[in-house]
Structure 1
């Protein structure tokens, strides 16, 4: 026969093991809960943005450095090439909105700049 002392020790060990498993399961739940909440928040924000249907659309972004980039945005049927830095936003060029790619727009802007540069050289 088992003595009451041994029985009590076994119950305490089982109780301690159960407590450890409760703590572990609680930690796993919390660790899984945080990313799930972040995912839901991101998903909800995307849904809100789609419902809002802003009149300003970012067509393309080209990073030029750590805090500098070129952005092609579309506003009311017109595409604008803007330069964005940490301290300012500058309008560089306007384009009609007719589905041309960002690369072709950059090439046309480069061609125009070279033509203007040649005209300034001949005027001098």
Structure 2
């Protein structure tokens, strides 16, 4: 009888301990699954950022194709932190404009697709040097 009593006590204690053991196992499983959820979420976010950037770039490219503008920036030359020269083509005519932080100035107009920007600038230099020579000769 002593043996059966010990057996019943053992079974009762085991039955009482099973929920605690299961809770400890469930807690370990839940901690492990929580860590995996965090890792998977982090991987998703890291993959999501480049995917969004790619989509934005693709949509901008599509908008540029659909909204073809009559104004094209042919060349930009930076002159300082906030100053630049821009060669802009509008309706078949090229315009040289100066852009600063406070103003935009039209400097010169050129026929479209005639010459390169560098050759146009050389021509302007020659014209200005000829004007300077003429002014100097006229002053003498």
TM > 0.5 fold call: yes
User: 1:28 Cα deviation (Å)?
Assistant: 2.3
Q: Which residue of 2 aligns with 1:86?
A: 101
Deviation at 1:71, TM superposition (A): 0.6
Following TM superposition, the consecutive aligned residue runs of length 4 or more in structure 1 with deviations greater than 4 angstroms are: none
Equivalent of residue 107 in structure 1, options 115, 119, 122: 122
Change in 2 beyond 3 A, CA 1:19/1:99: farther
Structure 1 residue 19 and structure 2 residue 34: aligned? yes
Q: Aligned residue for 1:63?
A: 78
> Which structure has the higher relative contact order (CA within 8 Å, separation 6+)?
1
> 2 CA distance for matches of 1:39 and 1:115?
53
Would you tell me which structure has more helix in proportion to its own residues?
A: 2
Q: What runs of 5+ residues in structure 1 fail to find an aligned partner?
A: none
Q: TM-score, normalised by structure 2?
A: 0.78
- Which structure: larger Rg? 2
TM-score of the superposed pair, with normalisation by structure 1? 0.87
- The number of aligned residues is 123
Name the CA distance, whole Å, in 1 between partners of 2:72 and 2:97.
13
Matched, 1:51 2:66: yes
Give the drift of 1:108: 1.2
For residue 37 of structure 1, what is the aligned residue in structure 2? 52
